[in-house]
Each structure stands twice: as structure tokens, then as C-alpha cells.
Amino acid sequence: MHNDEYYLNRAVQLAANNVAQGGRPFGAVLVKNDQILVEAINSIHLTQDPTAHAELLAIRSASQQLGARLDGCVIYASGHPCPMCLSAMHLCGVSRVVYGASNEQGEPYGLSTAAIYQQMALPVGEQALPVIHLEQPAMADIYRDWQARHGAR
């Protein structure tokens, strides 16, 4: 049973509390088996860490409890997850994401990441940020060493 509205309302309340304390309007709740494991707020204003988004902080905290895989977990976010946070959710296996405010709603307040999503949709060579591949032959041996040590395919 999904209590999406309940958990999303909690993320929205975290966002409101964060704004009242000088932060950005973002909160996240990470749930597994219909139980809240982690609540987090965007803490960029406290740490000056541009990656301190509520969703990433929730993932980091949950990973300390559950390990690097968060299969079966749901993240409730007050706003549309940015590409960085959404990528992290894919990487750690989050099962579902539910969010409150869309990028369109955030746009008038400078709180939309739609432009970043547009950049990320372009081939790497066409993006505004130069991304340069300088082949490093030693990496083949390093990858083989890692595979041998960890049994990865």
C-alpha cells in the first residue's frame, strides 16, 4: 500500500521548515516497507556544498543503514529532482520517486533544472560544458584488476 500523499506532504513540510530557517524550499523523505527511514533537507545554505540536495542527503544517510543498493525504497521530494539527484536514484536502485512541484512551477523563482535536463539530453559533444575524453591506456589494466578482485562481469 502506497501512502504517497502522506509521505509527500511530509517532504513539503520539511521544505517549508527549511525556508523558514533560511534554506531552499526542498525536502525529501526516503521510505522502505511503508516506513520512513530518512528525512532530509537541502542544506546548501549550511554547508556551501552544491551537492547537498535533500534527495542526495537522504540517499547518503539511507546507504549508511542499508548499503549502496536502495532497492525497494521510495523517495518523496518536494520538488522535481534535478538530473544529479535523479541519476543517483538510478545508480542506487531506488524503486520509485514521487515529487510535488514541477520544474514549470519552480521556473519563475529560479528553482527549475529544466535547462540542465535539456543540456543532458544533447550528445556530450554538443553540450555547453566541454567534456573531453583523453584516453588513458592504463585504465584497461585497472579495470581488469578491479574485475578480478570483485568478480564483476
The radius of gyration of the chain's CA atoms, rounded to the nearest angstrom, is: 18
What CATH fold (topology level) applies to the domain 4-123? Cytidine Deaminase; domain 2 (3.40.140)
Catalytic option among 5, 39, 55, 126: 55
Q: Is 39 helix (H, G, I), strand (E, B) or coil?
A: strand
Span 85-102, average pLDDT: 98
What pTM did the predictor assign?
0.92
55 catalytic? Reply is: yes
pLDDT above 90 coverage of the chain, percent: 97
Note the pLDDT tens digit of each residue in 37-60: 999 999 999 999 999 999 999 999
